[in-house]
Amino acid sequence: MEPTLNMLPNFKEIAKQNNHSDMQELAFSCIDLTTLNSTDTVSHVKAFTERVNDFESDYPNLPNVAAICVYPNMVRTVKENMKDDNVSIAAVAGGFPGSMSFIEVKVKEARMAVDYGADEIDIVLPLWAFLDGDDTICREEVFTIKEAIGDAHLKVILETGALVDPEKIRHASFLAMESGADFIKTSTGKMAPAATPEAAIVMCQAIKDFHHRTGRKVGFKPAGGISTTEDAILYLTIVQEILGEEWMTPSLFRIGASRLANNLLSDLLDEETKYF
């Protein structure tokens, strides 16, 4: 039986059972540690990166985060200071967060971010086109940016809070995946509502159906407003129940978060911890 939105209470019950140290460690290892503020400075991003560098020696028994996510102009700072080869560098680009720019500018920004060291690029599906029913523009933008960034992973943000209707979320998911997205992502975190379990269920079911149809595995990233251990475990549980164990890895699951890392650490260490 295919999972539906009506099964959310079941997922929440399973998530309570899943809230143990192994799942908490897995959730931590899937974090895109994010700083996306207009007040971000070079010195702040450098210090932010150094904390990630120090994590392995400070907590040798725990996995590090999956990636650091910054604005494009801060990619070089992360690249120059990053010492952990296992932590990826992600950049929001393509006119983030509104996608309200020219395709030429979006492509150039994404390509430059990769040239400066980004391993992953997060862009926003052009909602101005999607909400007008112009699928062609959506496909062309995702395809063109993916082509421009080469081997770098492309995460496409659907901004599900603006879509509301599950059918629109499903349609947007397929548009992104069919156009080359390596991941589909719920939200920018810049508008409410951001990530929701309901949107996650729809998107994960779309990923499952797309995989059955094409054989290609697309990753899933909930982002925006995810701050508690319980939130993280619920999203992991949704992925586990719909997509299975193969998706329970940083290569196919990420959590976009800024506050979550400290809360997960606090629960793992059984004491309040403000490391990041």
pTM for this prediction = 0.95
Catalytic residue, chosen from 32, 182, 221, 231, is: 221
3-class DSSP state for residue 172?
Answer: helix
> Cis link prior to 193 (omega < 30° from 0)?
yes
Catalytic residue, chosen from 32, 106, 119, 122, is: 122
> pLDDT of the chain along its 276 residues, tens only?
566 788 888 999 999 999 999 999 999 999 999 999 999 999 999 999 999 999 999 999 999 999 999 999 999 999 999 999 999 999 999 999 999 999 999 999 999 999 999 999 999 999 999 999 999 999 999 999 999 999 999 999 999 999 989 999 999 999 999 999 999 999 999 998 999 999 999 999 999 999 999 999 999 999 999 999 999 999 999 999 999 999 999 999 999 888 899 999 999 999 999 999
What does the pLDDT read at residue 271?
Answer: 95
Q: Does 168 participate in catalysis according to the annotation? A: no
Residues 257 and 243: their CA atoms lie apart, in Å, by 22
**What CATH number should be reported for the domain whose range is 5-268?**
3.20.20.70
CB 189, CB 222: distance < 8 Å: no
Structure tokens that stand for 4 in this block: 């539906």
What string of DSSP letters covers 30-79? Answer: TEEEE---TT--HHHHHHHHHHHHHHHHHSTTSPPPSEEEE-GGGHHHHH
Helix residue ranges, H only, 243-274? 260-269
Q: Does 208 participate in catalysis according to the annotation? A: no
> 69 has which bridge partners?
34, 90
Encoded amino acid at 194, one letter: A
What does the pLDDT read at residue 11?
Answer: 94
Catalytic residue, chosen from 32, 185, 231, 267, is: 185
CB 154, CB 182: distance < 8 Å: yes
Number of Cβ within a 10 Å radius of residue 95:
19
CB 264, CB 27: distance < 8 Å: yes
What is the domain partition of the chain in residue ranges? Answer: 5-268
Non-local CB neighbours of 114 within 8 Å, separated by 6+ positions: 121, 149, 150, 152
Q: Does 83 participate in catalysis according to the annotation? A: no
Non-local CB neighbours of 163 within 8 Å, separated by 6+ positions: 130, 169, 172
Residues 89 and 103: their CA atoms lie apart, in Å, by 23
> Cis link prior to 3 (omega < 30° from 0)?
no
Residues 145 and 148: their CA atoms lie apart, in Å, by 5
Structure tokens that stand for 60 in this block: 């040798």
Structure tokens that stand for 82 in this block: 């990053």
Instruction: Identify which of 143, 144, 140, 177 has the alpha carbon closest to the alpha carbon of residue 158.
Output: 177
